Structure 1
């Protein structure tokens, strides 16, 4: 990645690449995962929790940018913390990751602050790294903790950058989305029983 960045100074601020996800060990076949996304907003979080992104992937895209095949390098909003190649002087100026984030979204927060300073972030489609996914939250009980920690970190992001009112609206979206998803599960199981 360093060679690619040195060849083209336009990328020489912040960059990320494709992640080859390993769920259990380095000996398994990796799955492809992109290391870039958009910033969370009330709209894209509503689309995610109400599953509108599945019906309308382009107009109701979530932060994962599923409308794009990720085969070309381009400027993006946000890089995954699993792979950020950055200039040390800029990270020092921003004082690194915000310690208010216990786990998750600290990379989103850093990228948001980078963008506020006017710097650019790039995704390099030709580069890849291996990432052992879920190493911090591997057990089933930790996966539930992980889901809660993700929501709490997103809430902290909303507080930091969009204000407390929008952060409370985000919590309301989580509640409404959870009720909606529960209803979908119940109705689906009732429908399956009728067919039997």
Structure 2
């Protein structure tokens, strides 16, 4: 098997169906399998997906929803491909995207992971598809929405072209095309992260192990990000800031002074509480 495509479904029948169909409607020079993990959906999306796709898709039903990382890992443990692709259930794969990146990975054996140009529904770039690793400085500019031309404000790599191919630090978990040998070396997704942050953590470990991470801007994916309600669930807000805490503690706290760590943890806590409070006053669509 050349490629294993891993998709986590949670009560998104139509979105997941469209994502899978965007893969199936194209022909490829390589063999592939599609694995769908249902994260204990409370609706009938799993049964409907099984009825729609039958044996074309390998389904795994989780007894409990233990998060995005844990869901993906269930499929990664049984995936047979030389490469694996983590793919969000709210994406549409463009023609030739998988083919182009597969061929690139075949030619560049020092690349551990590769992403593509991810576009939002309105055609704008999803900036999460090409990033620097978060640190105290660039996180400060980003979290407090402070515009700056400082070299420290480099998280989203806005200075680099969207349609070219080059090495970066971090991809988005919506589309991560990885070498299976790389995952065997660095390990699977860290299940301490429930949602958010697991992609940054994995990219950090891949780079630390000496593999390159490539942004392949000549191929595209549509990410229907933000299609849900403007009023976020409190748990999602909490998990977003919790992921920041986990990542910082895991990769940076030991190399920083106590006072710096205290300020970072306090800042994350204050922002989380503020976001939860403001979310109470947002109206649903």
Q: Scaled by the length of structure 2, what TM-score is found?
A: 0.52
Q: Does 1:33 align with 2:126?
A: yes
Partner Cα distance (1:160, 1:72) in 2: 32
In the other structure, the counterpart of 1:44 is: 138
Contact kept in structure 2, 1:15 and 1:84, CA below 8 Å: yes
In the other structure, the counterpart of 2:63 is: none
With over 3 angstroms needed to count, the CA separation of the structure-2 counterparts of 1:66 and 1:145, relative to structure 1, is farther
Give ranges in structure 1 of 5+ residues lacking alignment.
Answer: 23-28, 180-196
How many angstroms does 1:46 deviate by?
1.3
Contact kept in structure 2, 1:13 and 1:121, CA below 8 Å: yes
With over 3 angstroms needed to count, the CA separation of the structure-2 counterparts of 1:178 and 1:50, relative to structure 1, is farther
The partner residue of 2:253 within 137, 142, 163 is: 163
In the other structure, the counterpart of 2:119 is: 20
How many angstroms does 1:58 deviate by?
4.1
Partner Cα distance (2:184, 2:268) in 1: 34
In the other structure, the counterpart of 2:51 is: none
Using CA pairs under 8 Å that are at least 6 residues apart, name the structure with larger relative contact order, 1 or 2: 1
In the other structure, the counterpart of 2:218 is: 126
Partner Cα distance (2:110, 2:175) in 1: 14
SS of 1:89's equivalent? helix
Partner Cα distance (2:206, 2:105) in 1: 18
SS of 1:5's equivalent? helix
In the other structure, the counterpart of 2:236 is: 146
Partner Cα distance (1:4, 1:139) in 2: 37
Q: Deviations over 1:56-95 (max 9, x none)?
A: 2342425222232323211111111111111112112222
SS of 2:232's equivalent? helix
Contact kept in structure 2, 1:104 and 1:153, CA below 8 Å: yes
In the other structure, the counterpart of 2:10 is: none
As a proportion of its length, which structure holds more helix? 1
Contact kept in structure 1, 2:120 and 2:222, CA below 8 Å: yes
In the other structure, the counterpart of 2:59 is: none
Partner Cα distance (2:263, 2:248) in 1: 10
With over 3 angstroms needed to count, the CA separation of the structure-2 counterparts of 1:123 and 1:46, relative to structure 1, is same
How many angstroms does 1:173 deviate by?
3.1
Q: Scaled by the length of structure 1, what TM-score is found?
A: 0.73
Over the aligned positions, Cα root-mean-square deviation in angstroms equals: 2.9
How many angstroms does 1:119 deviate by?
1.0
Aligned residues: 170
Give ranges in structure 2 of 5+ residues lacking alignment.
Answer: 1-100, 274-285
Q: Deviations over 1:134-164 (max 9, x none)?
A: 47xx234435543332111011000111127
Contact kept in structure 1, 2:111 and 2:212, CA below 8 Å: no
Contact kept in structure 1, 2:167 and 2:213, CA below 8 Å: yes
SS of 1:142's equivalent? coil
How many angstroms does 1:130 deviate by?
2.1
Partner Cα distance (1:108, 1:75) in 2: 15
